Amino acid sequence: MTTTRDILIDTATELFLGRNFGAVGTTELCKSAGVNKGTLYHYFPSKSDLLAAAIERYATSFGQAFRDIADSDAAPEEKLRQLFDVPARANRDWKTRHGFAQGCLVGNMSLELGAVDIPVREAIKHALTTWKAPVRDILHQLIETGSLARIDCDKGADVVIGLIQGGLLLAKAQNDPSHITLLAPGALAHLNSLKP
């Protein structure tokens, strides 16, 4: 069952991803969600809190996709590469529908609001933590199979997320989704060069 709250979160995700947080007004957002102003503020104390909820849902969704990859029976090297396919697929779909690369809600909001809105930054931090767990597991698997040196996997997970976000940024800057996976082929070599 899709509740009004769900509709608000999904609409917010769609609109904030398509443009940005500041460029989407609450009036437009409510109209797009088929809901009245007051209803938004019945469920969320502020526009920022709606965004935080959207980030949390977005993080959970992508986190689950990462988890599915980590738990699959593919080879660990293959899993590492597949991580980059998750945002790549999302962006390809979006660009087909709307004509430009939108990036990642977490990355976008991080650079727009990371220095301004502390609650949102906390939601972003939590999103990154959620994502790091399955990535860390894949790195452990790589070590077990001998494909990766005994590096610090927590730091390694940060590196992988940095590679993904770096590619996403290039893709949006140049409006070319193919850049998203630009940093995928070198990921394993990159990780292997980290000091244990």
Partner DNA sequence: CAATCAATTGACTGATCGGTCAGTTGGAAA
Partner DNA sequence: TTTCCAACTGACCGATCAGTCAATTGATTG
Binding footprint of its own copies on the chain (CB under 8 A): 18-23, 100-103, 106-108, 110-116, 121, 124-125, 128, 155, 158-159, 161-167, 169-170, 172-175, 179, 182-183, 185-195
Residue (25 or 185) nearer to DNA, CB: 25
What would you report as the CA-atom Rg of the chain, rounded to the nearest whole angstrom? 18
Residue (56 or 158) nearer to DNA, CB: 56
Residue (46 or 192) nearer to DNA, CB: 46
The residues near 23 (Cβ < 8 Å, ≥ 6 apart) are none
Q: Are 66 and 86 in contact (CB under 8 A)?
A: yes
Secondary structure (3-state) at 71: helix
How many positions of this chain bind DNA (CB under 7 A)? 20
CB of 168: closest distance to DNA in angstroms? 24
| Tokens read off for 132 | 């790091």
- CA distances from residue 72 to 90, 137, 171, 185 in whole angstroms, order as listed: 20, 12, 28, 20
Which of the listed partners (its own copies, DNA, none) does 158 bind, with a CB threshold of 5 to 8 Å by partner kind?
its own copies
Which of the listed partners (its own copies, DNA, none) does 121 bind, with a CB threshold of 5 to 8 Å by partner kind?
its own copies
Read off the DSSP letter of residue 146. T
